[in-house]
């Protein structure tokens, strides 16, 4: 098969740099759009909750923040399905991939269950973190309706990684886009009183979102089992028969990924708290720039997930040359893609800030000035974040997740956070000092992860797909 066919037909080894660029780009773009579409569903809920009043919006936002933290942890665990399946495909063990999908669903259920218990007790957790009791109580009502969709959302992540490893990233994207439209329609019916008793908007919006998540998962499962490529594999036959070695492999590989994601999530929460404590006037502007940078991060994240698959395929096939080619192409693509949103933030800051601050009052003017001041730091974060996220993807494709976790903890918690606090509070740099700490920590992580990749390429790339965990 030619390189051109390789790039067009799916996840096989590319024999040239041009074919690798095409293959990685075609895989990364739908993944990135799926990430953005997933955010879009949350945006839809947030906007419609705002129609019910500021208190309802605050409660929904708090409840969703707790839900999101738990989801991100579970997402990290089940994302191990991607490199495991990719290496099996690369090694030619096609029938073994069904074991990974089945046990991915097993891990989904076993990880989701305790996290659902955590979300169920949202009020006590939020009050313990200093949130107002009344708002926390409403947040728990919202969370208890939304929590039933958690297994479906996590299961979709496992299935999405399975399909991406086979070069089929578009079905989850289509399901998510349709899900956004369906969710918006059902939310509107709830607010109009068609579904549920009057005044049930908070619970209704959460419940419809959970329902849509299950419908999305069902649609993609049906697509997958009926796809000609998988029909002979009987993917879900004997679903309840355990495969403990594969189950333990997913947990062993996935838990370090989950703690890495949790470490980064909690770091940014902590840095926001530092800004709020040291320079409250800058907090709104800080949040705006952070969210713009986070949205921009979805494209490099898509490249990271794509290179995880590409490296996994090459590792499974015992092709060190293809591993290096996939890593290099992904790094170029991620940095190149990052320049686009960085350019928007550089040349259109007022337009982007106005999306968050349409009101022309004193408080909005102060927040807008701070957002404009911090925008250059947001641009820097976008650019330095790309190498570190690609480094994570490359190493995960090699089933190397424990050392990257140690690098993350060192770079974020032992370096970035203390430095940010010292610059912000100790030297009086305020919000700017916090952002310097963020950028330094991300840059350090990127350098160390790239060095780890370089070491793996030189002395520890597996000759037959049996990478160390």
Is residue 461 very low, low, confident or very high in pLDDT (cuts 50, 70, 90)? low
Of 249 and 338, the structure prediction assigns the larger pLDDT to 249
Integer angstrom CA distances of residue 113 from 78, 106, 160: 14, 11, 20
Q: What are phi and psi of 203, to 5 degrees?
A: -70, -40
Min mean pLDDT across 1-10, 184-193, 356-365, 380-389 is at 1-10
For range 122-129, the mean pLDDT: 89
How would you write 387-428 as a 3-class SS string?
HHHHHHHHHHHCCCCHHHHHHHHHHHHHHHHHHHHHHHHHCC
Q: pLDDT grade, residue 179 (50/70/90)? A: very high
Contact by Cβ (8 Å): 171, 184: no
Residues whose CB falls within 8 Å of the CB of residue 424, separated by 6 or more in sequence, listed in order: 274, 275, 278, 279, 430, 431, 433, 434, 437
What pLDDT, on a 0 to 100 scale, did the predictor assign at position 440? Answer: 96
- Residues 32-40 have a mean pLDDT of 85
Instruction: Average the pLDDT over 125-142 and give the result.
Output: 87
Per-residue pLDDT band at 198 (split at 50, 70, 90): low
pLDDT, residue 53, reads 74
Q: How large a percentage of the chain has pLDDT more than 90? A: 55
Q: Render pLDDT for 239-265 as a digit per residue (tens, 0 to 9).
A: 888 889 999 999 999 999 999 999 998
Mean pLDDT across 341-349: 87
* Residue 340 buriedness (CB in 10 A; 0-12 / 13-18 / 19+): exposed
CB 137 within 8 A of CB 54: no
- pLDDT greater than 90 at residue 451: yes
- Calculate Rg over the CA atoms of the chain: 22
Q: What is the mean pLDDT of residues 301-314?
A: 94
Which of 64-73, 155-164, 198-207, 436-445 bottoms out in mean pLDDT, i.e. has the lowest? 198-207
Least confident segment among 65-69, 74-78, 173-177, 395-399: 65-69
| 119-140 mean pLDDT | 88
How sure is the predictor about 433, in pLDDT bands with cuts at 50, 70 and 90? very high
Look up residue 202 and give its two tokens.
Answer: 């908070």
**Per DSSP, which regions of 161-232 are E strands?**
none
131 DSSP assignment: -
Q: Which residues are CB-contacts of 326 (< 8 A; sequence separation ≥ 6)?
A: 14, 20, 24, 307, 310, 311, 314, 394, 397
260: which residues sit within 8 A by CB, 6+ positions away?
76, 392, 401, 404, 405, 408
3 falls in which pLDDT band (50, 70, 90)? very low
Neighbouring residues of 352: CB distance < 8 A, sequence distance ≥ 6? 292, 344, 345
pLDDT at 458: 79
If one compares 451 and 358, the residue with the highest pLDDT of the two is 451
Give 96 or 116, the one with higher predicted confidence. Answer: 116
Which pLDDT does position 468 carry in this prediction?
Answer: 39
Residue 38 has pLDDT above 60, yes or no: yes
């Amino acid at each position: 098969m030619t390189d051109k066919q390789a790039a067009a037909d799916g996840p096989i080894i590319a024999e040239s740099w041009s074919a690798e660029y095409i293959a990685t780009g075609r895989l990364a773009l739908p993944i990135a759009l799926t990430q953005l579409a997933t955010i879009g569903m949350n945006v839809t809920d947030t906007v419609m909750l705002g129609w019910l009043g500021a208190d309802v919006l605050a409660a929904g936002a708090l409840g969703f923040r707790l839900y999101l933290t738990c989801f991100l942890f579970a997402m990290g665990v089940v994302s191990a399905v991607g490199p495991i399946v990719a290496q099996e495909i690369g090694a030619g063990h096609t029938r073994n991939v069904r074991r990974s999908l089945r046990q991915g669903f097993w891990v989904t259920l076993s990880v989701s269950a305790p996290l659902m218990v955590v979300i169920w007790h949202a009020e006590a957790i939020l009050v313990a973190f200093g949130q107002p009791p009344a708002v926390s109580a409403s947040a728990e009502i919202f969370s208890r309706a939304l929590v039933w969709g958690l297994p479906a959302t996590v299961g979709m992540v496992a299935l999405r990684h399975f399909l991406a490893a086979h070069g089929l990233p578009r079905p989850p994207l289509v399901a998510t886009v349709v899900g956004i439209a369906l969710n918006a329609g059902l939310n509107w019916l709830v607010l109009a009183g068609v579904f549920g008793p009057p005044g049930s908007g908070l619970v209704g919006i959460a419940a419809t979102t959970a329902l849509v998540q299950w419908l999305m998962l069902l649609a993609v499962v049906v697509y997958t089992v009926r796809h000609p490529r998988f029909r002979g594999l009987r993917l879900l036959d004997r679903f309840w028969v355990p495969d403990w070695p594969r189950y333990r492999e997913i947990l062993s590989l996935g838990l370090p990924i989950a703690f890495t994601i949790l470490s980064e999530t909690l770091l940014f929460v902590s840095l926001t708290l530092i800004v709020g404590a040291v320079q409250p006037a800058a907090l709104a502007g800080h949040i705006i720039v952070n969210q713009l940078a986070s949205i921009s991060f979805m494209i490099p994240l898509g490249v990271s997930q794509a290179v995880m698959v590409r490296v996994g395929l090459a590792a499974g096939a015992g092709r060190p040359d293809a591993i290096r080619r996939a890593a290099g192409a992904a790094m170029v693509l991620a940095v190149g893609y990052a320049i686009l949103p960085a350019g928007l933030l550089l040349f259109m800051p007022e337009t982007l800030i106005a999306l968050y601050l349409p009101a022309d009052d004193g408080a909005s003017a102060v927040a807008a000035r701070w957002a404009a001041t911090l925008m250059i730091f947001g641009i820097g974060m976008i650019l330095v974040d790309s190498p570190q996220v690609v480094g994570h993807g490359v190493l995960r494709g090699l089933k190397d997740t424990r050392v990257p976790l140690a690098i993350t903890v060192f770079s974020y918690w032992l370096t970035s956070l203390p430095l940010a606090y010292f610059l912000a509070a100790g030297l009086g740099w305020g919000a700017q000092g916090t952002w310097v700490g963020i950028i330094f920590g991300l840059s350090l992580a990127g350098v160390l992860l790239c060095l780890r990749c370089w070491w793996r390429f030189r002395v520890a790339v597996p000759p037959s797909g049996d990478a160390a965990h």
